[in-house]
Amino acid sequence: MKKIPALLLMAAFGLLSARSVAQSKSPRADTCACAQLARMHIPQATITTTECVPAGTFKPPGNGPAISDLPAFCRVAAVLQPSPDSHIRIELWLPETGWNERFLGTGTGGGAGYINYGSLATGLRKGFATTNTDMGTFPGANELAGHPEKWTDFGHRATHEMTVAGKAITEAYYHKSARKAYFSGCSTGGQQALMESQRYPNDYDGILAGAPANNRTHLHTGFIWILRATNDLPGSTFPKQKLDLITRAVLNACAGKDGGAPGDNFLTNPAACRFDPETLPVCPDGTDDSTCLTRSQITALKKIWEGPVNPRTGERIYTPIPLGSENVAAGIDIQQNPALAPNALFYQYKWAFGKDFDYKTFDFDHDQDELDALLGPVLNANDSDLSAFKQNSSKLLLYTGTADPLVPYQDALSYYERVMGVQGGLSQTRDFFRFYLIPGMGHCNGGPGLNDGGDMLTALIKWREEGIAPQQLTGTAYEGGDAKKGVRFRRPVYPYPLLPAYKAGDESSPESYEGVAQPKAKVKEPAARYLKSIKQARTSGTK
């Protein structure tokens, strides 16, 4: 199932209901242990729903689809209010039987504003006491101009408050605390994950962070950059057929030469690809068809591949999309669309500059500084000093796809290398933090290559609880990106700096690959002024 369009359009998959216990579907509502939690007192919180849900199918509140194959569980919903202007909705699903004695915090996507029932269901089926939050942005992130406390909730506070309340409710229900606590999230969920490791290092014993949107005020500037590059001059946008043309040309030049297999339709190491846009077919003057690019489109493509820079100083603000991701879902096709991108991706600019923010007038110099000064300290999780997290004996797994055009892998790679710098090298970092580049994966899943990196949550748990550090994992590519349609191929993935290198044999078999440290190709990473840590942003502003 493709999740990208829903993320980009900020679809709410369900609205938290304030149903009373008497409205429960379960005939045991008045007597079940879950109902007793309604009387529980949690500081700065109001429990709105406690119900015993029988095994089978559960229909979430709102318009979300019914979820099947669920074990019986205790459903708790609450509203948290750490500030007078906060309204953070959370849900906690507690297995009635078969609890694995672990607590699992889960993440969300986009500007949040909804409860991620899919993640709750996944965690519940695996035996976790599982929680999720709307991050305090309901009814939508675009509506929060003039509400700085809600910005803080979205940035980091909602996830921490969810964790504290969720642990307390779990202990009250089972009459004992969870043995271990884990967090798993991708995209905005990846931002939540890294925020937890940096700001609240004692919340979780293990954290799984995917495609993290942690460099938030600069990531979104990349969206403005693409929208401007393709719309400032007439004739600069790209029909889908031309995006396919561009990606085919890149792959023809580089696929299979970057460590991957000869038949790959994706790049394993995009940083190793050298491609000149001037080699693309150019339409004769006055013509325009799907087999060539106009001069305006060539100019726009060069700008997209360069990525956002400060026009006055030349400093890089953010990294560009990876080569080979031009036609991948959530990429240029959506980001160039002025009818879609602003509503889905520009909420933080509305917080900083008002609800009538016009991307066409954004100044990549002074406006960027103003945005960073206002929102950087609460939204950006760039702090590379994870010493407190490490001292807690906690473990962190980070992963991202090499074909992700929404949150480019280069920023996560840059973050990992900065952590290594603080720790004093790779070996000191690998003791508690490992990073996996997933060849050909798009944003969190999907994409032309692998759709996952294997069961990373289980690997994280074994690392934390049994001391078995994850090394080689096995990722899977599914037909149409859908696990229900069958497997296309499998391939090993390795912790940085290793990438899977093709040896010989069946390209779809994991045995045909080995982990090799590829020659390091420098990625385009933001300038130091756009990588300030939380501590730096608080003390030095943007100068």
Residue by residue, pLDDT tens for the chain (543 residues) are 333 333 333 332 222 232 233 233 344 444 688 999 999 999 999 999 999 999 999 999 988 899 999 999 999 999 999 999 999 999 999 999 999 999 999 999 999 999 999 999 999 999 999 999 999 999 999 999 999 999 999 999 999 999 999 999 999 999 999 999 999 999 999 999 999 999 999 999 999 999 999 999 999 999 999 999 999 999 999 999 999 999 999 999 999 999 999 999 999 999 999 999 999 999 998 888 899 999 999 999 999 999 999 999 999 999 999 999 999 999 999 999 999 999 999 999 999 999 999 999 999 999 999 999 999 999 999 999 999 999 999 999 999 999 999 999 999 999 999 999 999 999 999 999 999 999 999 999 999 999 999 999 999 999 999 999 999 999 999 999 999 999 999 999 999 999 999 999 999 999 999 999 977 768 899 999 999 876 665 555 443
Annotated active-site residue 414? The verdict is: no
The catalytic residue among 147, 218, 220, 443 is: 443
Which of 455, 458, 502 has its CA nearest to residue 483? 455
pTM exceeding 0.85: yes
From CA 410, how far away is CA 525, in angstroms rounded? 7
The catalytic residue among 184, 187, 236, 414 is: 187
Helix (H) or strand (E) holding 329: none
Domains of the chain by residue range: 1-178, 218-378
Annotated active-site residue 363? The verdict is: no
Beta-strand runs (E) in 54-145: 56-58, 67-70, 73-80, 88-95, 102-106, 129-133
Fill in the DSSP letter of residue 530. Answer: G
The catalytic residue among 333, 369, 383, 404 is: 404
Angle at Cα 31 formed by Cα 27 and Cα 34, nearest 5°?
95
Q: What residue has token string 């293990």?
A: 206
Contact in structure between 423 and 381 (CB atoms under 8 Å): no
Which of 530, 22, 51 has its CA nearest to residue 307? 530
Q: Which two tokens stand for residue 30?
A: 């008045």
Which of 261, 270, 329 has its CA nearest to residue 491? 261
Annotated active-site residue 187? The verdict is: yes
From CA 196, how far away is CA 213, in angstroms rounded? 13
Helix (H) or strand (E) holding 218: helix 216-231
